[in-house]
Each structure stands twice: as C-alpha cells, then as structure tokens.
Structure 1
Amino acid sequence: MKNYQDQVILITGASGGLGQEAAKQFGKLGAKLALSDINAEKLALLANELREHDIDVLTMVCDVRDEDQVKAFVAATVERFGHLHAAINNAGIDPEHALLADTSLEEYQRTMDINVQGVFLCMKYQIQQMLTQGGGAICNIASVAGVGGAPFMSAYAASKHAVIGLTKSAAFEYGKFNIRVNAVCPFITMTDMFEQTLAQFPDREAALKHFGKTAALKRVAQPEEVVQAMLFACDPNNSYMTGHELVIDGGMTAV
C-alpha cells in the first residue's frame, strides 16, 4: 500500500464523485488535504467527514476559472501546511451532449474555460510553488475522450485533448526541476455527473449496460478504481513517470 503520511495533497473539484473519493483515499493513507470546489455546502460536508477520521483538511471555495482565486488557494495551502507535494486538478464539467453543429458557442466556451483554462491556471501556480521547494507531482484528470474522439461530446473531447497537451508540454518543461506531470484518462465513471446523464433515460439499467458495453470489461468504472491511478501517478516512488496519459478505460481502447 502506498504511504502518503504527512504529504500535502491539493485537490480541485473535491466535492464531486472522483474528488471526494480521492480525498478519502489520500487521507486514509496519511495525507494532509487542501480541497477546493465551487460548492461550499458539499465541500463543508466532505471536510467534516474527513475530520471525523482525524484527517487534517483545509478547504476553500475556488472557481478554477478565476486566476486570483486559484492563486489564493495555492498560497493558502502553502501557508497552512508549508509545502505542496502533489496536486490533482480534477475540477471540470461534462457539458450537454449534442452534435458539433448543434453545440452553442456559449456551451463550448464554458467547457473550455473550466476544463482547460482551469487546469492551466492551477498548473501555473502549483508549478511556481514546486519550483521553490525542489519538485512535486501534478496529476491532471483528463478522459478517454482526450485520447480519441467522443461523438456528441466534441467540446468535451477538445477540452480533454487540451489537458493532455498541457500535461505533456509542462512535463518536458519542468522535468529537470523534479516536477512530474501526468494525466489520468478514465472511461465513464459512476459519479454524480454520470448519474445525471443516466437520469435522462427511462430505463436506468439498460442505459448503464449500453454505456458499459464498449469496454472490454463490459461495465463502467467505479470512482475508487480511477483513484488508484491518481495514487500511482502521485506516488513519490513512481519517480520516473512523467508526461504520460494513464488510460483507465476497462479496455475500451484495446482494439
């Protein structure tokens, strides 16, 4: 089992399904957590749950599109804990599904602002801190839609391809400073976000089977399965992996 005892881990989008599970798993392994989200109520509930297990938690409401808020969140993390060992840039949205020609400019721009600009800004200030302390690890949450096409999700796919581009570029730029930058690319995962998609179908179980059938494992992922990849990407012992997109897709892209 990986050991994150006294490691400072920053997680954005922490009140969502993957963010919550990441916070719980890293916390269980001894990490000190800096958590942000735009949903103050859910963030507070998560923090209270973690503190019941004696996990040291800092929370801050942060819109990753806002440079001042992102800068303040990273600064608050370092002020509280004195260091930033690893950051998980998880905040993102899944926009309305539509054909490209039916996607509004507003929806496209909102997707890019959150999914790409948000990751860019977080990386910008995380890297600045890591340069002062001799290194660190960044794990960006992309998607299997970032390594291939995604019908009816062109804006989302474009945003996740961009996240992988940022990941690879930063990995090369900052590798010599002992900063590792990787991306995790999950297939459909059972989160609240996906539950909203399932709710649009009259037969939930049939829809769930339909979405899972393109994976070799014939099912969608569970949050804890994706978080295992985050734990691996951020592990200090995993010291030679950088610039990599770690695809967690149940074998969807195997053929």
Structure 2
Amino acid sequence: MSQRLLNEVAIVTGAADGIGKTIAEVFCQQGAKVCVADINESMGQAVANELIAQGYDAHFCYVDIADEASVNAMVEATVNMLGKPTILVNNAALISTGKEVTDVTSDMWRRNFAVNVDGMWHCSKAVLTHMKENGQGSIINLGSVHSYKIVPGYFPYAVTKHAVIGLTKNLAVEFAQYNIRVNALCPGMIETPMAFKTWQDMEDPAAARKAIADVHPLKRNGTTEEVAYPAVFLASNESSFMTGQSLVVDGGRSVIYHD
C-alpha cells in the first residue's frame, strides 16, 4: 500500500489525546514526519515516544497556541528536528459548555477566542513562510458541526467555530497564489476520552451516550479514525484542487432537523 503523505512534515496541535492523537498516528502510518504539539507535556511526550518506538519519525513539542511566542518556538523546533512544515493541522481547542449566555464572563469569552481563533492564526502565520518557500502546503483547521448549527449550552464555543470557517476561507484566498491550500474539517460527535468523561459525569452514562448517538442518521457516534482519514485526504495531493472548503464528518447530523 502506498503511503499518501510520504516525506511530508506535519504539525498536529492538540495531539496528546483524542482526535489529534489519532491524526498524528495515522499521518505517521502514511509516511509523514510528525510534530506532536500539545500543552500537556507528559501526555504529548508519551504519544511521541509511542510513535518513535514503532519506528516513525516523530517529535514532541510543547506549545500554548494562545501564546504567539510559544507557537513560533514550536515551529522553529519542528524545522530543526524534522524539516520545514508542509502540513499543519490546527486541532487544539477549548470547549466551553453548561453556561447561560449571560453568565459567560469577559475572561471566558476572551479565553475561548484566544485558543480557538487566535491560536489557529498564530500557528498558520508561523508555518506560512515555510510553506511559501516550499512552494506548497496544506493547512487543515478543525471546525465542528457547531460551525454551522447552534446547539444550546455551547456559547461561546460555537461562535469561535463559526469564526474558524471565516479564517479558513480568508487564508485560502490570500495564499492560493503560493499553492497553499486551507480547508476546514468539521466533525460531529466523536467518541474521544473527553466525550466519555462527560458521559461518566452524568446520572446514566450509557443512556447519555446513546441519546447523542441516536441524533445521527447513522445512529452512532463517530470514531477518531473516521476524522483522521478525511484529514489525510485534505493533507494529501488527492485534494489538490480543493481549498477554502469545509468537509463535514458528522454521520449526517447536520442535514436533519431535530429538536
């Protein structure tokens, strides 16, 4: 089987767990050199160590994407360890739930935007110079079904995910002349450790899991692998005429009406 990302250099943020971890793993399997970037040093280093033990070319780098200096240091370390990045997956995000809109403080609002929007811009800005020098690149921004649909109780997370689509389209137009493609990948409910933790905190975890699964026409939640392979498609030359677009991976949830 041919490797679809052979010799590419990829940065995956939020790669210590969940969707980001699986994307990092699948990218390695597809031949990429991968920077496992995360704010959680112990978990991120563990993921990188696992990949290295399997014979893959991986490297952990600490990053706080809300801090532009931290992002610049992470990208510089990636260039030194793996080479100039040709792929960026902006996966790291902060999820806010359970607050009434009027109970959301200014600090909460700013923190959500600092991570979910500013963080993507910091990372994109830091790799764009290298991608221009390479003459090509693919940036994948993790949006969400919340980028298009409003689910009560997720303010201001959904606002930031709407902004991700605008950022994606703007960067796609500005950098198309350099053969740099920018697309969004928008998952629905994916069974990550964070999701399971949320369900475990509920009175009936199994019922809570089934309730959200039943919202989808496919009558199940997605797996992290079902997001990682679409990410491979967007990162590879298979999507070479695709930019400024949003690929929704949500089991059909966003196309049906529900209360």
TM-score (norm 1): 0.96
CA distance in 2 between counterparts of 1:121 and 1:195 reads: 30
Q: 1:137 corresponds to which residue? A: 138
Q: Unaligned 5+ residue runs, structure 2?
A: none
Secondary structure of 1:154's counterpart equals: coil
Map residues 1-255 of structure 1 onto 2, 5 A cutoff.
3-255=4-256
Greater shift, 243-252 or 190-199, is seen at: 190-199
CA distance in 2 between counterparts of 1:46 and 1:98 reads: 33
Contact 2:86 2:134 in 1 (8 A): no
Aligned length: 255
Q: How far has the Cα of 1:60 moved from its partner?
A: 1.0
CA distance in 1 between counterparts of 2:108 and 2:224 reads: 26
Q: How far has the Cα of 1:106 moved from its partner?
A: 2.3
Secondary structure of 1:221's counterpart equals: coil
Greater shift, 95-104 or 155-164, is seen at: 95-104
Contact 2:4 2:232 in 1 (8 A): no
Q: How far has the Cα of 1:128 moved from its partner?
A: 1.9
Q: How far has the Cα of 1:177 moved from its partner?
A: 0.8
CA distance in 1 between counterparts of 2:232 and 2:113 reads: 26
Q: How far has the Cα of 1:99 moved from its partner?
A: 2.6
Q: Which runs of 4+ in 1 moved over 3 A?
A: none
Specify the code of the residue in structure 2 equivalent to 1:70.
Answer: V
Q: How far has the Cα of 1:82 moved from its partner?
A: 2.6
TM-score (norm 2): 0.95
**Percent identical across equivalent pairs?**
36
Query: C-alpha deviations, 1:164-221, integer Å up to 9, x for none?
Result: 1100100011111100000100001111221222122111110011112221111211
Q: How far has the Cα of 1:75 moved from its partner?
A: 1.6
Q: How far has the Cα of 1:243 moved from its partner?
A: 0.3
Secondary structure of 2:237's counterpart equals: coil
Tell me the C-alpha RMSD between the 2 structures.
1.3
Q: How far has the Cα of 1:22 moved from its partner?
A: 0.7
Query: C-alpha deviations, 1:35-59, integer Å up to 9, x for none?
Result: 1101110011111110111011121
Specify the code of the residue in structure 1 equivalent to 2:135.
Answer: G
CA distance in 2 between counterparts of 1:103 and 1:195 reads: 25
Query: C-alpha deviations, 1:123-155, integer Å up to 9, x for none?
Result: 111112211221100001111101121211120
Secondary structure of 2:238's counterpart equals: coil
Contact 1:99 1:151 in 2 (8 A): no
